[in-house]
Amino acid sequence: MAAAYLRDLRIPLRRFGDVLREMYPYPDLSLRVAALFAEGGTALESGKRKVSNWLSSACKPGSREDVFRIAFALDLSEEQADRLLGLCTDYGINYRCGRELVYAWCLRSGRGYRDARKLYRSLPPEPPQGVNADIELTHRLHWLFLQAETEEDLRRYYQENLPYFGSYHIRSYFYFQQYIGCLIRPDSSNGEQEKPYSLEQVTEVYLSMHMPSGADRRGYSAIQKLIKRNWPNATALKNIVSQKQEVPRKLLLLLYIITENVKNGEYAETDEDYLSLEDRLDSHWWSVNAMLSDCGMPGLDPRNAFDWLVLYALTATGDESMSERMEKVLDDLFEDVR
């Protein structure tokens, strides 16, 4: 029934064009965005076609710079830009990235895109920053820059904190390491430690979940494409471990489902029989959203096809695990393309 619910598109999917119109419900939306892209060297007609595709939800911006340009073109707020970034690229505004920090400040201050770019270029370049930085750093920098009322404040805070900048998302990598560590070093049924799994084994044993392999999606339905898009594989895991790739939101949610958010054998109240299904789902809802918010990612959205599947998996009870519950749906949903 769950697979049929997805397959028949009974979910009113949240589309980029609809969100954009909610934020800017005026008839000149397309023209304003296209005009700003034309300022950047894009032909006006080409800009109009690009915007038309976005508004029809045929596609959505894949570039974070494009999302910021849309936000400036429509005079959106910092919070609205953050939401659009999360919808398009998994992550909201990164306040450890100098460019995004300056853009966010300019949106908050009512400045335009050209002014924002000019201000950023006038500041010292950012140094590369690895994941060994303090995992609370992004939140502290965000709080600090919220206090920057003038451009002089911004410049001073920027230069004082320049050594801490970096585009890499630290917090999501922290969660990834915790979860993947549990899968690499599984406990056997007799309590003894098994030989560590390779990332290939982790992918095969835990992350495959009956998902068809291969990148070819010809013949897939729209919902199948949405669910399969960016499904993690061993190569992606290796790139994340070596810090060559960010942790995708989909992977983080999958790891939560597979581990059931139990790390290092710690106690979890959600395992107790006295909890009702509603209580258990409510507890997981808050836990997942707290994790996503901590990572700068948008929260669970029942109008997102994959998020709906995650919510369905969270309701597993009895002898059925969350990952088994998800696998059954995927097995049925992709039966016709195997």
- DSSP string spanning 286-324? HHHHHHHHHTT-----TTSHHHHHHHHHHT--TT--HHH
Backbone phi, psi, residue 68, to 5°: -65, -40
pLDDT at site 10: 84
Distance (Å, whole) CA 247 – CA 244: 10
pLDDT at site 266: 58
Same domain? For 191 and 114 the reply is no
Nearest by Cα to 300 from 315, 317, 287? 287
SS3 call for 253: helix
Nearest by Cα to 145 from 134, 132, 159? 159
Q: Mark which of 168, 201, 230 sits at the end of a domain.
A: 168
pLDDT at site 131: 46
Q: How many domains does the chain have?
A: 3
Same domain? For 211 and 312 the reply is yes
pLDDT at site 35: 84
DSSP-assigned beta bridge partners for residue 144? none
- Positions in the chain short of pLDDT 70: 40-44, 129-135, 187-193, 263-274
Same domain? For 192 and 151 the reply is no
pLDDT at site 121: 96
Distance (Å, whole) CA 210 – CA 262: 23
Nearest by Cα to 69 from 103, 93, 46? 103
Same domain? For 50 and 103 the reply is no
pLDDT at site 164: 86
Domain that holds residue 163: 95-168
Distance of CA 7 to the CA centre of its chain: 23
Same domain? For 314 and 197 the reply is yes
